[in-house]
Every structure is written in C-alpha cells, then in structure tokens.
Structure 1
Amino acid sequence: MRDAISSSAALPPITYSATSASSARTSQTAAVIKRSRPILSHLRELYAGDRVEVLTQTLGADDRRLHLFHVLTREGDKVPAATGEQMLIHLSAGDGRSGPVQGNVRTRVLELARLHAEFPLPERASASIRLR
C-alpha cells in the first residue's frame, strides 16, 4: 500500500514585492499577504508519486482582500481530492496593518476577479467567508 500524503503544518505568510515606476527611477515596496479563515476539505487520498493539478478560481476581490477557491485533483481525474477556500488580506510590511494593494498588482487582481465573476460559484464554496 502506498503512503498517503497529508499536510497539516501551518503555512508561512506569502510575501511579494511590487515594483512601480513613478518617474525615472523604480521603487520597491514589500508587503505581506495574511491567510484568514481557510476552509479545507479532504475528499480523497493522494499517494506519494501521484501527479496533481490545482485549479484556482477567484471568487471576489477588493482593494485589500482576495477570496480564492482551489480544487486539487489527481492528474486526469475529474473528482476532486481536496478543496481549499481562503481569504487573503493585504498587509503593509512596515506596520502590519491591512491596507490597499498598490499599482499593477491591484489592477491585475481586480481584473482577474471581474473575469472569474462570470463562472458559477463552486458547489463547496462557503457563504461564511465571502466579501460583503
């Protein structure tokens, strides 16, 4: 029998650097993304050596939050092995307070949310963590 893969370890914060050219020089601002209220559903086992695919749908976004839904399947399968839903909150690296995402990152995230709004909501999506 193959060993089942499991992961319950806490994930570290996601960090990114946004680069913007406001004049002739480039400035770089660091920020942190905090995961809030993840909802994970383990539906089937995966085994060491299994190839997996993860599809992500943006369920909503605003200036400081990003609501994502992930579906993990064994490569070639249609039945999900797991789903994950989470709200990501943008924090300023300087003071750790929630604030708006700046520049190109903000534009791209809001456009992605607009495009994904045309898709139906996933069946397992929770009403408890939606943007209001």
Structure 2
Amino acid sequence: MEIEAPFDQHRTEVLPEWIDVNGHMNVAYYVLAFDHATDLFFDYIGLDDAYREQTGGSTFAVESYVTYQREVMLGDPLRITTQLLAYDPKRLHFFHQMYHAREGYLAATSEWLNLHIDLNIRRVAPMPEPIQRRLAAIWAKHETLDIPKEAGRSVRGIDRPE
C-alpha cells in the first residue's frame, strides 16, 4: 500500500444539521468532521474495528486543539488531510488540515494527542509490533513534511480587566 504524505483520503460536505444560527458550520461539527478523519486515519494504520474486536486495543483522545481559519457554509465540499507529527509505542500525535475542496482554502486545523488503551484493563498500553511497524513506515514519509505553523498552539489569552 502506498503511503501518502500527508494522508489525504477524507472527503465530506457541510450538512444542513451542521449549520448554526450564524449561517455557517457550527464549531461542534468541525470537531465531528476531524473525528471522522481520525477514524479513517486510524483504519489506515490498522487501528480499526477488527483490531478492537480481536485485541481489545483502542485509542483515547487526551488532548486536541482546533483553529478556525475561514468559515464554511451549507453544502461546501471539504477535504481533510492528516499528518503524523510524532509517535511512540503508547502515543500518537497528529495534525488535521480542513480545506474547502473546491476553492482550496484552509478552513480549519486540529491537533490531537491520543493514547493507545487496553480496553480490558482500561489502561494505557503499548501498541502491538505490527501497528508500530506501520507507524514507522508512515513516519518515514511524514517526517519530511514541514510542521504546520498552527501545531503546538494553545489559547492566546487576553489581559484580565483590572
């Protein structure tokens, strides 16, 4: 299987139920779209439904951060790419970029840190060797990519009123 850098398989469109009172896609649905992209990336890695059923292994998101760059509207086509930023036997750090699929602009980004979990004991556990080998192959391609400028951000606060 060819390894894409970045992983570029998720396509969707802004659905009517995703529109908020401001007439654009609601923040909650950006997270949903990014979560669906995460699921597709994890399937690609081998962390799919069959893996969960056979091993009792899964992942839990422990941290995520979204930036909203430009709004998207009802019916807009979306393309979400995924870049592996780092990994170790127990953790996956990755970054999504959401583009307007027709116009090409960056609409939003999302950075995630997930832990591999043994669901039988509900504890962090190392990923099996076949998954780690797959990640190593993906990393060999993704490590050559530039780190997105939005990666590593946190909420930029404002001064508190006196």
The answer to whether the 8 A contact 1:62-1:110 is kept is no
Report what 1:63 is aligned to.
89
Taking structure 2 as the reference length, the TM-score comes to 0.64
| 1:18 lines up with 2:38 in the alignment | no
Structure with greater proportional strand content: 1
Q: Give the share of equivalent positions with the same residue, in percent.
A: 24
User: CA RMSD, aligned part only?
Assistant: 2.7
1:41-93 CA distances to partner (integer Å, 9 max, x unpaired)? 11111111110000111101111111111000111334310000001110001
Change (3 A) 1:90 1:71: same
Structure with greater proportional helix content: 2
Report how many aligned residue pairs link the two structures. 119
Structure 1 gaps, min length 5: 20-26
The answer to whether the 8 A contact 1:5-1:48 is kept is yes
The answer to whether the 8 A contact 1:18-1:105 is kept is no
| 1:3 lines up with 2:23 in the alignment | yes
Q: Distance in 2 between matches of 1:99 and 1:52?
A: 34
Structure 2 gaps, min length 5: 1-21, 40-46, 155-162
The answer to whether the 8 A contact 1:57-1:116 is kept is yes
Post-superposition offset of 1:36: 1.5
